[in-house]
Structure 1
Amino acid sequence: MSSSFTAPVPQGRYVAAVFAGDTVRTAGMTSRVDGILTVTGRVGAEVTVEEASAAAAVSVRNALAAVRSVLPAGMSFRPVEMVVYVAAAAEFTSLSTVADGASEVIAAELGVESLPARSAIGVYTLPGGAPVEVALTAVVV
């Protein structure tokens, strides 16, 4: 299944993705749709795990769209590393549950065998008050 998302417009002086050699690296992607965040706040405070997981799903769809936007037609890719940053309340520790929202999208779009290695990292704040940011690295196959 191919994503209908388009690469988001950068919110600063950077590009959405870079294709170098056989690797594509994305910028950190939040859950922006048409430039607007779908949810804001810290997970475990203003944002529920379910809302954050849904935000992670939108974020990774944006990352996949960014990867596709820099590849020549007909080239395919495999995600190899995904870093999921979660703006979390101090006591919140279910970071992997939030990150699973992003992994589910990759499994659905590319197959379970295309799941990347993954890190889920708790942070105090993210751009625009986003609860989740996803950075993806893929290799061209």
Structure 2
Amino acid sequence: MGSEVFARLEELGLTIPPVVPPVAAYVPALRTGNHVYVSGQLPMIDGKLPAAGLVGADVTAEQAKDLARQAGLNALGAVHALVGLDKVVQVVKIVGFVASAPGFTGQPGVVNGASELFGEVFGEAGKHARSAVGVSVLPLNTPVEVEAIFEVA
């Protein structure tokens, strides 16, 4: 995969962000064996949340999908800082959490923001298992949070 990943990122006009500092007692990513486990990533941009609140009330599903994409990009930043994106063999699984207003059922479409990003960046190796979960509230009142598992060389 190697340099292909960086070429795809450039084609997409994306820059890998620096690691978002943890907001509690954990590390952004941890390698064990040939897997990297990325802690839940918020859609921070330059240390700030671009939106807050519940999807389906304060934030639209389209906005939340963009936020999930940013959270996915932040996950890539955590992997890159730990082992380098060129070491990714496969995106194994992602879990997306969506702070949902009562009655909102579009969590899968929101989490597609991260899933589609991984597909664009890694091609076939970006296909993954996934869960999209609706919750009542998330840390810092973020609308979305994405965690991921990557297989690495």
Using structure 2 for the length normalisation, give the TM-score.
Answer: 0.86
Matched letter for residue 34 of structure 1: D
Equivalent residue runs for 1:96-107 within 5 Å: 96-107=108-119
| Aligned partners of 1:37 and 1:130 also within 8 Å | yes
CA gap 1:69/1:90 in 2 versus in 1, 3 angstroms:
same
Where does residue 6 of structure 1 map in the other structure?
18
RMSD of aligned Cα (Å): 1.5
Q: CA deviation at 1:108?
A: 1.2
Structure with more helix by fraction:
2
> 5+ unaligned residues in a row in structure 2: which ranges?
1-7, 10-14
**Cα shift readout 1:54-100 (whole Å, capped 9, x = no counterpart):** 00000000011111211168523321000000000110001111011
Residue 55, structure 1, aligned to residue 67, structure 2: yes
Where does residue 36 of structure 2 map in the other structure?
24
Q: CA–CA distance in 1 between the matches of 2:90 and 2:29?
A: 15
Residue 93, structure 1, aligned to residue 105, structure 2: yes
Residue 135 of structure 1: SS of its match in structure 2?
Answer: strand
Using structure 1 for the length normalisation, give the TM-score.
Answer: 0.93
> 5+ unaligned residues in a row in structure 1: which ranges?
none
Aligned length: 141
Q: Percent identity?
A: 35
